[in-house]
Structure formats: C-alpha cells, structure tokens
Chains A and B, each alone.
Chain A
Amino acid sequence: MRGCPKLFCLPVLIPSMHTKILVFAVLLFNFARAGFCESTRCGDSTFIRRVYLDLTGTLPTAQEARTFLADVGPNRRAILVDKLLDSPEFTDFQAMRWSDVLRVKAEFPINLWPAGAAAYYRWIHEAVRTNKPYDKFVRELLLSDGSNFRNGAVNFWRAVPVKDADMLAETAAQTFLGKEQVSQWLTPFFSRVGYKATAEWKEEIIYWTHKPLNNPNVIFPDGTKGTVPDGIDPRAVLADWLVSPKNNEFNQCVVNRVWSWLCGTENSVSRPLSGKLCQELVESKYDLKHLYRFIANSEEYQSTAYPVRRIEAEVLQDALAKIFNVQISYTSEVPEPYTYIPARCRTVMLADASVTSMFLETFGRSSRDTGLDSDRNNDITESQELFLLNSTEVNSWISKYAQRLIGNWKRFEGNKVINEIYLTFLSRYPTDKELDIIKKQFSRSAVPPMQTMQDIIWALLNTKEFLCKH
C-alpha cells in the first residue's frame, strides 16, 4: 500500500474475547513497529460501499446507506460486517469466486457439460453457505469419487482440459498451493484416478482404480518422504500431507486468495500480515468466514490506501439491473441438454461460465479456462466506455428510471431526490458543491427537466466513483 509504513493488521472491533486479546497484542506490535504513522481510515460512506461490494457483490440500497450513515454506534462497522457475512448475497458472491478458481464451465476447454457444471456449482454454493471449514472443503474435493451428477465435488477431476495425472497435478498445485512449479511432485498421487462413462448421457464416474503405484515411495513437494501402502488411495496420502496446519504454503495460498478478493490482486498481502492471517485461519479451525471478518475489520482493509479498481463485470451488471429495475435474462443455447436459468437469476449466480452476454464479455468476466486470476480481465477498455457512455441499452434504462424520479421531483423538493440518487449510486449524500451543480442543471430554461434528469443520471453512472471500488 502507498504512503506510510505498513500498519500491520489492526482489527478494530471484534466481538469474541479471544480475538480481543489478540487485537491487543497486535496493537502493541503495531505501535512498536509503525511508531506514530498517522492512520488513514476511510469514511463511513466509503466503507459501506466497499464492504458491500467486496463481501456481497452488491451495492447498498439508498435506504441501507442512509441507515448506516445515521448510525453513531462505536461497533457499527463490525456489526455491518457480521450482517453481510450472514447474508445470502455473501454466499452467492463468494460461490462465484470459488467457481472461478475451480473452473465451473460447461464448455470448452473445461467441458463439464451443463449437468456437471450445475452439480459442481451447487456443491460449491452449499459449502460456502454452510461455511464448510476450508480443510474439510479441500479434503472432500481431493477424495471425491462417484457420479458427476450425484456428487458435485467429483467435477474437480473433470474441470481440466486434459484428464491425465500431469494435468490434475498441475491443477491441484495451482488451486491449493498457488503455484504450478511443484506439480511434478504431485503427479504420482493422481495417477490412479479413473474415469468411466455410464448409460446416462454425459454422466461420468470418477473412481480410484485400486492399481498399486509402480513406486510406493513418494516425495512431497517440501522434500519429505512418504509411502503409499497397498490398498490405500494415493490421493488420501497426499491429502494428509497437504491439508495440515503445519503446511504453511497450503494455508498461505487460501489466505492470499481471500485477501486478494477483498483488497485486489495487485495489492499482495504483506509477509507479517500473511503470517498473522495464517495463524488466524489455523486457530479458527479453517473458518473462512472468520478470515473474511478479520480482514474486513482490519485497519489495512479500512484504509484510504485501498486500491481503486473497476467493479467486476457480473457485479456491475447486477448493480445496474438493480438500480434501473431491469431484468437481465440469460439463456444457454449450447450444448444440450440446455440449462434452465430462472428469470430472476442474478448475474453473480450464473453457475456456468459458458453462459455469457455481450456485457459480460465486454467487461471481462472470468473465462474459467485455467482457474488463474488472469482468467478475469478487469482492464478498462474503450468498448466498455462506449457501452456506458453511448449505448441504446444504457440510454433506455436511464429514460425509464428518470421517468420515475421526475414524478418525485415534482412532488418533493429537489434536495430529497438528489440525495436519493446520490445514496443509490454512490452510497453517500451529495456535498453542497454537488447540490449546487445539480440544481444549476435544472435551472437551464430551454431544457425540459426530464432531459436534465436523464443527463444527471447518465453522468453519475459514468463517474469513476460509481464504476470503481475505492
């Protein structure tokens, strides 16, 4: 982060006793290290927008923003974090994150096929909803066997462009250790994964072939040696080594992942903080919600140095749909059997990355081709700007919305409507200067108020403050 030396993780207000002691320890540590570097905590309106977008992939409604901004309770931020962590939107959004990592895609190059992708997504969604401990989550994926339709987790073995041990090793190394370089060490453990078809169209059974390894003596990526006894699935031997509190690389990988989801991929977690987060993870028995909570309550996360970046494609689409009250519908044209997508399905809830739209392509949703962060493209392009500044879609959304607002404009005094618009788009009240600018727009005599209203909404929608997380 920019500016002053790093403030190592200053959890602000965390309810449990054990964390309070810890906070105190960290505080002491911080003061010792950082001296009197001035804290740059973001304001409440920035915080509510940031934490809604990062945890739930939604914008707060005007009412939610208004309520939070009126709250003067000392614990208001921590209370909000807890509320969001328990919301269904948190589950939907983080399920999307994990689906990116685990490559939930019906078609090329992953080829799970629609029913497999749906089962895989349901499994992931349920794991996030029940806050399945991360160690259990990984063990269940690694040890999964059975039908791709009945046990969603087995699709982990199918979500690869080539189903061989090398590819599986590469994928597992990248998914659970965050690096591919160690994959050669993992290959033997995946050499006994079998696949067979059934009479059911596109069903596939994943199983352990029971064939002993050519060489039962194995070496783990950290150099330790082990054996795979006859009658034991090599994947179980690997899981025992991998999923262990002592395996720092395993812990660090998921800590970095969650950190980057909240604080941006370009903003890597500092080493001491990473150590702290790993400790939190292990001590909480791999409670991922605890990790989210810990980061969201930290001084680093709430700092003004939080990196400005564009809102993700799916989240932006949902935010626009919600504000303008339009229904974005998705269809799955290929391949058969066609996926049923309920009309009310929000974009972040799309299970399958093959189901897409011009908007999602333009704004760089994850292709889920490799599971790497680079599958998602958050760059800002001219075509995105063209769409937002000058498309038929955006203009028609704006017209309908302005129509509704203009009625209120006549009934209430102007400030109320302007406040509402600002709270809706930017989760804050307008400044006096902004109020002035807006009112001046309405005083142009030759222009009908309806047109002015449209132009104001158009402009707010295109502001950097709206398009970015900040």
Chain B
Amino acid sequence: MQTLDRRQFLSGCFAAAACFAAQADVNERAFAGEAGSTVPRSLTLGKAKSVIQIWMWGGPSALETFDPKPGAGEKYCGPWNKPLQTNVPGIEISQSLPHLAKCADLYSIIRTMTHGTNHHEQASYIMQTGRMPGGGIVYPGVGAVISKVKGYDAGYDRKIPPYVVLTTSQGRFSESGFLGAKYKPFITGSDPSKTPFLVSGYVVEGITKERQEHRRELLETLDGASSVANRHIDAAREEAFKLITGDTAKVFDLSSEPDKVRGDYGRNWFGQSCLTARRLVQYGVPYITLNYRGWDTHKRHFETLTRKQPEWDQGLAMLLKDLADLGLLDTTLIWWGGEFGRTPKVQTESPWFGGRGHFGKCFSVMLAGGGFKGGKVIGESDATGENVKSRPVAPQDMLGSIYAQLGINPDAKLPNEKGIDVPCMPPASDAGILRELII
C-alpha cells in the first residue's frame, strides 16, 4: 500500500517535472554533468517516510557537540577539553554527550556545514529553505514542502496534520512561504512532560464525550436558528468533531507508554517531545519538528550547557535506539541542528564574560536514519573550528539529500498553485548531495 502510494507520487513528480519544468530540468542536469559527478543529482531514493527535525533554536556550539577541539586550547574549548571516544573508532564527540557516544554507529555528523550568515532570522530561513533571502520570493521551509508533497498532495488521510511542531512556533518567518497558510505546521502548545499533555484542540480536561455531543447538538440548533451561512465553517467543524470525538488524541497520551520507556527518554520537555515524535511517526505523520529553545548562549555558555546538555544527550540517544529497536530508523530520518553554530573562540570580554556569539561559517549538523548511513563524518574543520578545511556542505546539499531520501527529486519543479517555476532544491556545490551518506 505504502509502496503504491510512493510510486504514484513519484510518477506524479516526474510528470510535473516533465510537463512544467522541462527547461529547468535540462539545465540542472547539464549542471550536474559539468561537475563531473558519478552520482546523478536527480535522485529519488524514497526510503524515508518521516522526518524528525530537532531544531536547536538559537544555534548550538559545534565545539561542545559534534566537533570538539581539545587541541585548540582554553581560549577555544574553555574548560571542556576531554572529548569522548565514541563506539565508532576515530569519531570523538563532546564530553557532555556520553549517551550519544555509545551509539555513534546510528548517526552521521556533518562538521562543515556553512552559509556564512550570522543573523538568526536569515540563517533560519537559509537552513530551512535552502535559499538565500531576497529576490522577492519567500520560499517554504522543508516541513511545509513535505506537508504538501508527502501529505496533502499524496492522499495523506490521517487526522493529525502532516506537519506537526512540538510545542511552540518559531515565528521568525512564514514557514509555508509562497505555498500558503494551509501548509503551516500544526503547533501543539502545552508541554508533553506535563500530565496530561494538553495538545491544543485535541486534549481538554473535564469535558466528557457525552457533554461534547450535547454541545454539538446545541450549537447546531442555534446555528440553524440564524440565517448566517458559511459552508467552509460547516466543513471544518465536521472534520474537527471527527477528531474530538474519535481516538486520534490517544497519540498524544504518553501515559499509555511503559513507565520505564518514559523515564529512559527523560522526564523533561525534550525527552517527552522525542517520545511524542516517535509516536507521531508510528501514527504516520511525515514531518515533525521539535523547536528546542535555549541555545543562543551569548552569556554563561558553559554553565547553561552543563545544565542542558544531559537532557538532550539522553533523549536523542534514546530516540535513536528506540527507533532502531522498533525497526523504524530505516524509514525515519532525523535531522539535528540549528540556524548556525557559535564562535569557536570563547568571548571572555564584557558584556559576554564567557559566551559564544553567532557563527555561520563552519558548524555541525547531525543526520540519522531514513536511508542515511550511520557512523560517518563528513568534512573537516580546521584546528580551531573557525574554517572549513575540506568538503564544505551548503544547506541546500543537505536539504536536497533529505528530499531525495523522501523520494522527492530535488531537481523537479516545486509543486505550487501560484505557477512559480523553481526546483524543489537548487544545486549548491559539486553534485549537490551527500554522496558519502547515501547507501
């Protein structure tokens, strides 16, 4: 069934490329050809069914995560100069990530992500759309594109929208860009570490099913007594009631998980959000974002990290292992990263006194599952982590690879109702995909 859906989608995708973007398509093939790559860029691998995007909102430091630099001295690595050897020989990560050090075979690291922008909002836009700002077109983020292509346009029939954000919106840019508001994420609100997890519109306390039905009856009686008609409201209300009175909300009921599992994820916002994300993947949601706050550490950098690193180290490692154990890691793609990294040199001067600033020139991103190989490192930064030494990776290379894993040809025309003729993801460098990670 799933395969058929995917085939249908793929043929649609090719047809779209053939019909509407013939010219663009030809040009891009020529580009890929010129680069002399052996791997064609127009890939539609299609192994991944869902993406869990862990958005390290504010920009996480590469040195304290996946690219430690113990040799650079205290000016750079501060007090943290004892990286951990992972279970993959030759790969070292920060001393603050002991759980992730034990499962490095499950994920791969890009140490040379680069776009050069140090403004939050512009960098967020670049990382989520693969486009440079400007030109008068506001592009949709990856989640909105997946919501359309793998969701609404592909006959997605689940009740929960195809793009879910845990738990707050970023609001930095219109995530759906020119695709329109329909493809904006569903934002859960509330906090999954609280019981119950009061997902906005899905879960309320104190209203029984009987009362809900009585309310509906009364509403329809009062509506019927008024002359104001609006069929859009009728239709949306009908759908909403199906959700309210149906079983869908159980997806958000974490109390049905074994206590041990909940504990292993960590009983905090991040851990329980990871668990919720796993449940949403099992339910069939194709794109889930965790907007994880608190990484804009201009001040008290090491103090903040000492407090916050353990929770995501535990939660993310558990998510990887749990998905692997359930046989879901092959079809679930995990993308960890923020809008940029942080200045490798610690800012000791006033007013920072031991913080790190914004750094878009060279930073780390982690990818796992969904067809990507684990246990690999792409690119090398220099001795201080301030420059790319080899294999720079542009955001669009990574995003294009994610599209390919989802079965979306990055060269095909980005489907839209406005007739804007642009590819899903423009090529940036070389062959434009992460060859090293594609099985």
Binding site for B on A (CB under 8 A): 107-109, 111, 161-162, 167, 170, 308, 310, 334-335, 354, 356, 358, 361-362, 364, 367, 369-370, 374, 377, 379-387, 389-393, 395, 426, 431, 433-434, 437, 441, 451, 455-456, 458-460, 462-465, 467-468, 470
Contacts and interface: CB of A to CB of B under 8 A. Distances in A.
Given A170-B136, A437-B222, A464 B233 contact: yes
Residue of A374, A392, A456 most packed against chain B (CB within 10 A): A392
13 contacts: A107-B121, A335-B120, A358-B168, A370-B138, A381-B181, A381-B236, A385-B233, A385-B236, A391-B201, A441-B218, A458-B215, A459-B219, A463-B226
A308 B229 contact: yes
A295 B136 CA distance: 34
B187 A358 contact: yes
A389 B173 contact: no
Nearest to B219: A459
A109 B45 CA distance: 33
A374 B239 CA distance: 25
Contacts of A108: 121-122, 124-125, 133, 172-173
A109 B235 CA distance: 34
B266 to A, nearest CB: 25
B219 A391 contact: no
A171 B164 CA distance: 34
B232 to A, nearest CB: 4
Contacts, number: 164
Given A431-B225, A464-B229, A386 B202 contact: yes
Residue of B138, B171, B221, B230 most packed against chain A (CB within 10 A): B171
A111 B181 contact: no
A386 B138 contact: no
B244 interface: yes
A162 B134 contact: yes
Interface in B98-136: 119-122, 124-125, 133-136
Contacts of B173: 107-109
A385 B184 contact: no
A381 B182 contact: yes
Nearest to A434: B225
Nearest to B58: A334
B57 to A, nearest CB: 10
Contacts of B226: 426, 463-465
Interface of B: 119-122, 124-125, 133-136, 138, 161, 168-169, 171-174, 180-182, 184, 186-187, 189-190, 198, 200-202, 204-207, 211-212, 214-215, 218-219, 221-223, 225-226, 228-230, 232-233, 235-237, 239-241, 243-244
Contacts of A334: 120-121, 172
Contacts of B172: 107-108, 334, 354
Contact of A437 (B133, B184, B215, B221): B221
A390 B204 contact: yes
Given A382-B161, A390-B204, 14 more contacts: A107-B172, A108-B173, A109-B173, A334-B120, A358-B200, A380-B230, A380-B236, A386-B244, A389-B244, A462-B237, A464-B228, A464-B229, A467-B230, A468-B228
Nearest to B138: A369
A415 B212 CA distance: 25
Given A167-B136, A335-B121, A455-B215, A385 B222 contact: no
A128 to B, nearest CB: 26
A460 B205 CA distance: 21
Contacts of B198: 392
Contact of A386 (B181, B200, B218): B200
B171 A389 contact: no
Contacts of B161: 382-383
B186 to A, nearest CB: 6
A29 B75 CA distance: 84
A468 B229 CA distance: 9
A390 B249 CA distance: 12
Given A162-B134, A455-B211, A377 B181 contact: yes
A463 B237 CA distance: 11
A361 B171 contact: yes
A361 B169 contact: yes
A441 B233 CA distance: 24
Contact of B174 (A367, A379, A468): A367
A437 B215 CA distance: 13
A369 B206 CA distance: 41
Contacts of B133: 108-109, 161
B228 A456 contact: no
